[in-house]
A and B are shown apart, each in its own frame.
Chain A
Amino acid sequence: MEGIMHFMELSGFANVTWGHLIMIMVGLIFIYLAITKDYEPLLLVPIGFGILIGNIPFMENMGMQIGIYEDGSVMNMLYYGVLKGLYPPLIFLGIGAMTDFSTLLSNPRLMLLGAAAQIGIFLTFMTALALGFTLNQAASIGIIGGADGPTAIFLSSRLAPELIGAIAIAAYSYMALVPVIQPPIIKLLTSKEERLIKMKPPRAVSKTEKMIFPIVGLLLTTFISPGALPLLGMLFFGNLLKESGVTKRLADTASKQLIDIVTILLGVTVGASTQATTFLTPQSVLIFGLGAVSFMVATAGGVLFAKFMNLFLKGDDKINPMIGAAGVSAVPDSARVVHQLGQNEDKTNYLLMHAMAPNVSGVIGSAVAAGILLSYLMKVGW
């Protein structure tokens, strides 16, 4: 009888709290959004299920080694890849191996849009600081504005590991909600005439240019911001595997099997890290709020900068300012949203290829920004 009572005490029913139930609901909502609304299913399904796994109530520190925060548990070992920033560079390797930089190479000035959208990072950094977060925490929260999950995880693993769960969930949630967040901001900041602008088709890019780009890109960006080396090193390496034409097998593995495996591990462990007992705090709610602001500011920054560029461009060279919104590095969702908005205005206006240019430069821009924050804060040691 005593054994049965002991078993009952250890069961989930005996240890459940409101926090667990709330988080289980959040997990279910993520899974629902992924399956029915098709919002980033490859991310939201693993994260949503991870939230369910992480919020099964149990009696902690009983030596069962099952919780993600219990040393020696399987989930804890997998979570090591998040804590030590192992998964994000591997994801970047896959992204590099599947990204075609042709549109960026054909129209390099669109790279500036990817830089302009990073304003969201720095403004949110300042806001978070004003709200009482420490410098390291504020920098980690600000990077949500880069709309780049792996970069956000990488930076927070180095600067504020205690906030990884909240930051990762916020970053991926807003990436999934790109189709909801961006269109109203784009419409608000652009006129109908601007949305109807048709851009010149991109020129054909030679194979040699495509091969030179990852090498030059790596050398230049990492010499300027060495803190971004783990991310940009892998991104450009993956791209060279793709473009060199002689390492097709490696490029295939990086862009398919490897990125899929890492995405699964990253998604599940980040989801599981939202254990109610450690995750449900006013800080997490605040991080979510700041993340949303960050994302909106980044979108607005890109659009406004495209309008600014148009002041100096004439005729065919004019840019459709909507593509500025793709400067946030949610690849390729942002570009897809811009294309869809363009199609809603004019069925013959194809913006996808044009929007991909600021989109991929946003990936580089946010990694550079993360590198700058990392170098500065690690050096100063706040």
Chain B
Amino acid sequence: MINETYNLISGLLMQSTPQPITSITFDLQNQWMDEAFGMSIVGMLVVFVALIILAVIIFNISKVLAYMQKKRLKTQGVVETETKDIAVSGEINAAIAMALSLYFGEIHDDEAVVLTIKRAPRPYSPWSSKIFSLRDIYNNYRI
């Protein structure tokens, strides 16, 4: 029944659409359709499996790294203290960010006054030599 319906629909589609480049028989088309159906199912499954495995690995990597860091800190004698998640609203975060930005901005301004005065090196080059400049030639002519 399903095959008959499929044959009918695909037959109608074949009649109402432009002909493909290659002339292919209806049987071959049916064979391809079966192949394509299987390929699509397998393809979709493989995409899912690949990304699920990747997701699981990433999820566990973060845990392993956190565990290793915890262990390292323990061997270094760092005492672990429990912290609670503090619920901070977006407005407060924005205000903190603004304050930090202004603070660091000011620091930069102070630095700029002191540190940015720098003597530019002027190595000799015939291209910038006074001897070869046009003005000198002109002056020499006048003399």
Give chain B interface residues in 41-73, CB to chain A under 8 Å.
42-44, 46-59, 61-62, 65
Question: Main SS of the interface on chain B?
Answer: helix
Q: A132-B29, A135-B35 are in contact. Are A220 and B47 (CB under 8 A)?
A: no
- Are A129 and B50 within 8 A (Cβ)? no
**A218 CB → nearest B CB, Å:** 10
Can you pick out 28 interface pairs between chain A and chain B where the beta carbons lie within 8 Å of each other? A108-B58, A112-B55, A114-B51, A115-B48, A116-B48, A121-B43, A122-B39, A122-B43, A125-B40, A126-B36, A130-B13, A131-B17, A132-B14, A132-B19, A132-B29, A134-B32, A206-B65, A208-B65, A209-B58, A209-B62, A212-B61, A220-B50, A224-B50, A283-B21, A364-B54, A368-B46, A372-B43, A380-B35
- Are B51 and A373 within 8 A (Cβ)? no
- Are A138 and B24 within 8 A (Cβ)? no
Chain B residues lying within 8 Å of A144, measured Cβ to Cβ, are none
Q: A212-B61, A213-B58, A221-B50 are in contact. Are A135 and B17 (CB under 8 A)?
A: no
- Are B36 and A138 within 8 A (Cβ)? yes
**Bound complex: CA A278 to CA B56 (Å):** 48
- Are A108 and B59 within 8 A (Cβ)? yes
**Bound complex: CA A216 to CA B58 (Å):** 9
Contact of B53 among A130, A134, A220, A361 (CB under 8 A): A220
Residue of B nearest to A135 (CB): B32
- Counting CB contacts under 8 A, is A13 at the interface? no
List 17 additional contacts besides A216-B57, A221-B50; criterion CB under 8 Å: A111-B52, A111-B58, A115-B48, A118-B44, A119-B44, A121-B43, A125-B39, A129-B29, A132-B19, A209-B61, A220-B50, A225-B46, A282-B18, A361-B51, A368-B46, A368-B51, A372-B39
- Give the interface size bracket for B toward A: 35 or more
Residue of B nearest to A127 (CB): B13
Number of interface residues of A (CB under 8 A): 53
Contact of A216 among B14, B24, B61, B65 (CB under 8 A): B61
- Are A220 and B54 within 8 A (Cβ)? yes
- Counting CB contacts under 8 A, is A235 at the interface? no
**Proximity bits, A368-382, B CB within 8 Å = 1, else 0:** 110011001000101
Q: A111-B51, A129-B29, A372-B46 are in contact. Are A162 and B90 (CB under 8 A)?
A: no
Q: A129-B32, A224-B46 are in contact. Are A162 and B21 (CB under 8 A)?
A: yes
Residue of B nearest to A206 (CB): B65
- Counting CB contacts under 8 A, is B121 at the interface? no
- Counting CB contacts under 8 A, is A137 at the interface? yes
Q: A119-B44, A122-B43, A224-B46 are in contact. Are A132 and B57 (CB under 8 A)?
A: no
- Are A130 and B33 within 8 A (Cβ)? yes
- Are B17 and A286 within 8 A (Cβ)? yes
**Bound complex: CA A132 to CA B65 (Å):** 53
Q: A216-B54, A221-B54 are in contact. Are A132 and B59 (CB under 8 A)?
A: no
Chain B residues lying within 8 Å of A105, measured Cβ to Cβ, are 58, 62
Contact of A131 among B13, B47, B90 (CB under 8 A): B13
Q: A125-B36, A220-B57, A221-B50 are in contact. Are A134 and B62 (CB under 8 A)?
A: no
Residue of B nearest to A348 (CB): B90
Chain A residues lying within 8 Å of B124, measured Cβ to Cβ, are none
Chain A residues lying within 8 Å of B35, measured Cβ to Cβ, are 135, 380
**Bound complex: CA A209 to CA B56 (Å):** 13
**Bound complex: CA A109 to CA B58 (Å):** 10
- Are B20 and A134 within 8 A (Cβ)? yes
**Proximity bits, A343-382, B CB within 8 Å = 1, else 0:** 0000010000000000001001100110011001000101
- Counting CB contacts under 8 A, is A217 at the interface? yes
- Are A369 and B13 within 8 A (Cβ)? no
**Proximity bits, A177-193, B CB within 8 Å = 1, else 0:** 00000000000000000
